[in-house]
Amino acid sequence: MQGDDDPEHHPPEFVAPPQVQDQAAGLDAAPADAPQHPCPICGRPFDRNQEMTRHLCTFLPHSIYCAFPQCSYRCNRHDALASHWEKKHGHANGGRAPQQQQHYQIYDSNQLVTRVINGHMTMDDAIAGALSMVEMRAQQLGKEGAWAGDLWGRCRMRPHVFEQ
């Protein structure tokens, strides 16, 4: 066929009909009346308050700990603790994560976040309170050595610093 070997010959570009283009453009856009919950710290918008609350917890030290002796692992979500336990300590407890995971809480991060959202506490005060509770809980649990030098529970991450 003529033109197949011609480098200047290109097949026509497919262009969707306007109706299909309009539908595709709207896929990523949230409805105009969708509730937005902006983070009071960084301004990132969230569609649901629960998502914003979970996001705010990332500005605080980890609030859940692994009860395995001398394990320094900490996280902010119970599903992360269950995954850690099964991967790192699966040989104990028949390979299953421990039951009653709410008992492995260092402090109540949701309570602090709620106080920040409601304007009853600054994020700096929430961080200071959380770090104080981490130190106290480390002593109670005998994990001072395991958590030494990393009260945040995330030695590879730099903690957030806020100016109010």
- For residue 52, what are its two tokens? 């914003």
Q: If you count them, how many residues does the chain have? A: 164
Query: Which stretch of 40-49, 91-100, 126-135 has the lowest confidence by average pLDDT?
Result: 91-100
In the chain, what are the domain boundaries? Answer: 42-145
For residues 130 and 134, what is the distance between their CA atoms, to the nearest angstrom? 6
**Residue-by-residue DSSP string for 19-74:** HHHHHHHTSSSPPTT---EE-TTT--EESSHHHHHHHHHTTS---EE--STT---E
CA angle 20, 35, 122 (to 5 degrees): 140
The residues near 69 (Cβ < 8 Å, ≥ 6 apart) are none
Q: What is the pLDDT of residues 59-82, one digit of tens each?
A: 999 999 998 888 899 999 888 888
Query: Which stretch of 34-43, 95-104, 126-135 has the lowest confidence by average pLDDT?
Result: 95-104
**What is the pLDDT confidence band of residue 20, given thresholds at 50, 70 and 90?**
very low
- Whole-angstrom CA distances from 50 to 47, 111, 114, 160 are 9, 13, 11, 21
Rounded to two decimals, what is the model's pTM? 0.69
**What is the pLDDT confidence band of residue 26, given thresholds at 50, 70 and 90?**
very low
